[in-house]
Chain A
Amino acid sequence: MTQGLGSGSIPSGRRYLDLLMTALVGVAVLLALIPLVLIVADVIIQGAPAINLSFLTNSPTPVNIPGGGIGPAIEGTSVMVGIATLISVPIGVGAGIFFSEWPESRLSTISSFTNDVLAEFPSIVIGIFVYVLIVLATHSFSAIAGAIALSVIMVPIVARTTEESLKIVPNTLREASMALGISRWKTVIRIVISTGKNGLATGILLAVARAAGETAPLLLTALGSTFFLTGLFQPTAALPLLIYTYATSPYQVWHEQAWGAALILVAFMLVLNLTVKLVIGRKFSEMRAEI
């Protein structure tokens, strides 16, 4: 056997391969991040020039008339996401509570499974569903239809994150509470939910972010509009819809406005997501990747 260290090294081929692979891994990380940087940069560079107060508040104008804005789109998105939240949060949180606190129930297992299935539906298919169910029935594209489509997308997200946040609450807390004679329903509402409220809030915020960015289902339900809302049963504008319509149009003016609208949307997304990550905490933001 060799005495002493002699050559304290390994064949250079192996060493070089190790270095090469480290470099390749680094390249992969760069390649993954470059699109993010480019997209955000592009959105800012192209979109910023279009932003001013009148842009944000005016209605769209015909192409050759200046001064058009995205006011109705911002309003439409806010209203539809708002209504969708009102619909999906009770259902989602309720289902999540049920999955977490009564997991032994048959309904719980079935519903949890279908909840997962619901989460996997391509959003365009959900658009078809709401179209058939509501648009055909009411003979009109509408904000309500759009809101319902968005809520169908939001429910599984809220339900899942609610369930996970509540399941993390230690069982000993529940037992201690019930041992003190506090009824089950009070235990769940006062103690379990307030302990898990961070996770709940996160889930709702993430669902809102997702809904605000959805385009496909709205194509088939809200359709889009150039006017401010005059009621919930007419075609409605939405920010992502506007971006899509303008971007795929042949008009340069509209392209510029699409970038402006994109800036607003992306800013909203990033703020929301970073809030979730930084303020509410690391653990819950890991759910983000799973949605």
Chain B
Amino acid sequence: MSFRLKGDSLLKSTVAAAALAVVAMVIALGYEIYSGSGLSISRFGFSFLPGTVWDPVHEIFGALPFLYGTILTSILALLFGLPISLGVAIFLSEKAKGQKTFKYVIGTLVELLAAVPSVIYGLWGLFFLSPLLRQYVENPLHAYLGFVPLFSGTPFGLDFFTAGVILATMIIPTVSAVSRDILNAVPNSQREAMYSLGATNWEVIRRTVLPYARSGIFGATILGLGRAVGETMAVTMVIGNTPRITASLFSGGYTLSAVIANEFTEASSPLYLSALVEIGLVLFIVALTINVFARFLVWRLTRGTRMRV
């Protein structure tokens, strides 16, 4: 072979090897997680997921409290974070039309939120947000609306509620950035048609832009959900780390990722360890399903355009 062809095939093989390495990594990852859970799966089988007891001493393990915590905090994250993200997206896409620099600055600042490491959110949550929420939000809510199951239970500050708020803050950059792109993609002719009927700016947004963009925004939401589910450090530092299934938002709780972070290195027996690995497997499957779904939704909307999420 000539030097040229040799060079070509050498390059191709090299980079192909890198690509292969990626595949190998994922396969190895999946395999290790699955095999690591083997012991636990064989012991508990299908009762692992609905199992409510997590007792390392007696070696009884069940994933439900953690699944509950993960789902609850993620829903709270969406509840608090979605309206704000949508507001930011609407602001960046539909309002302040002329002021490009101003919007650029705002957009950058929101993006910088994503640059803050999870452990820093946890630090801030632990020392600043948690006491603040307990004093100004949880205590009053408990005092006046304590009869509602959601607000029952003495507020401790390190609970589902605070975890939900922190997670909401952490998903805002993602959800708002994607939503903004989705809103920008709504053709201007749609807006003009609504304006021409004599509509105010809000009416144009509500009746034309948002309906047009609704499946994309739904996709952005699901994407945010995927991020929330996988978060570990910020959550474990503010959630109290006690496995509990309760309606009270002010109760301490636990999530799939938090229990792994806390107890993995302390796991004193092979079964304990294997149960934790199985928790990891559950977490992985939940995160993967959500993300595949989100990706699919956004792909459907942006077919052909090169919008990566």
Which A residues contact B (CB, under 8 angstroms)? 10, 14-15, 17-18, 21-22, 24-29, 31-33, 35-36, 38-39, 42-43, 46, 90-95, 97-99, 101-102, 105, 107-108, 110-111, 114-118, 120-129, 131-133, 152, 155-156, 159-160, 164, 167, 183-186, 188-189, 209, 212-216, 219-220, 223, 240, 243-244, 247-248, 255, 258-259, 262, 265-266, 269-270, 272-274, 277, 282, 285-291
Within B16-41, the residues touching A (CB, 8 Å) are 16-23, 25-29, 32-33, 35-36
> Would you mind naming 14 contact pairs between A and B with Cβ atoms under 8 Å apart?
A14-B203, A18-B202, A21-B206, A29-B88, A42-B127, A93-B18, A94-B21, A120-B230, A124-B230, A216-B257, A223-B265, A243-B120, A262-B119, A289-B111
Contact B264 A131 (CB under 8 A): yes
Per the bound structure, the CA–CA distance linking A186 and B10 in Å amounts to 11
Judged by DSSP, the binding face of B is helix
Chain B residues near A125: list those with CB within 8 A.
29, 33, 260, 280, 283-284, 287
Residue of B nearest to A272 (CB): B115
Q: What is the interface residue range for chain B against chain A?
A: 35 or more
* Beyond known contacts A107-B20, A124-B230: 13 more, CB 8 A cutoff: A21-B202, A22-B95, A29-B88, A32-B113, A38-B128, A94-B14, A94-B21, A111-B20, A114-B25, A122-B284, A124-B232, A133-B32, A185-B10
Contact B200 A266 (CB under 8 A): no
Residue of B nearest to A46 (CB): B127
User: A22-B201, A247-B126, A290-B308 are contacts. A95–B22 as well, Cβ < 8 Å?
Assistant: yes
Per the bound structure, the CA–CA distance linking A189 and B8 in Å amounts to 11
Most chain A CB neighbours (cut-off 10 Å) among B5, B14, B126, B280: B280
Contact A118 B264 (CB under 8 A): no
Per the bound structure, the CA–CA distance linking A117 and B229 in Å amounts to 15
Which of B49-57, B168-176, B187-195 forms part of the interface with chain A? B168-176
B4 beta carbon closer than 8 Å to chain A: yes
Most chain A CB neighbours (cut-off 10 Å) among B11, B84, B109, B119: B119
Chain B residues near A10: list those with CB within 8 A.
198, 200
User: A17-B200, A32-B172, A269-B116 are contacts. A277–B32 as well, Cβ < 8 Å?
Assistant: no
Chain A residues near B261: list those with CB within 8 A.
124, 216, 219
Contact B288 A220 (CB under 8 A): no
Residue of A nearest to B81 (CB): A32
Per the bound structure, the CA–CA distance linking A285 and B122 in Å amounts to 25
B68 beta carbon closer than 8 Å to chain A: no
Smallest distance from the beta carbon of B183 to chain A beta carbons, Å?
12
Identify A29's interface contact among B27, B87, B169, B177, CB under 8 A.
B87
Contact A258 B123 (CB under 8 A): yes
Contact B230 A123 (CB under 8 A): yes
Judged by DSSP, the binding face of A is helix
B152 beta carbon closer than 8 Å to chain A: no
B226 beta carbon closer than 8 Å to chain A: yes
B108 beta carbon closer than 8 Å to chain A: yes
Chain B residues near A25: list those with CB within 8 A.
87, 90-91, 95
Contact B11 A265 (CB under 8 A): no
Contact B88 A32 (CB under 8 A): yes
Identify B277's interface contact among A132, A219, A255, CB under 8 A.
A132
Smallest distance from the beta carbon of B39 to chain A beta carbons, Å?
12
Contact A289 B177 (CB under 8 A): yes
Smallest distance from the beta carbon of A282 to chain B beta carbons, Å?
8
Smallest distance from the beta carbon of A205 to chain B beta carbons, Å?
11
Per the bound structure, the CA–CA distance linking A282 and B178 in Å amounts to 16
Smallest distance from the beta carbon of B272 to chain A beta carbons, Å?
13
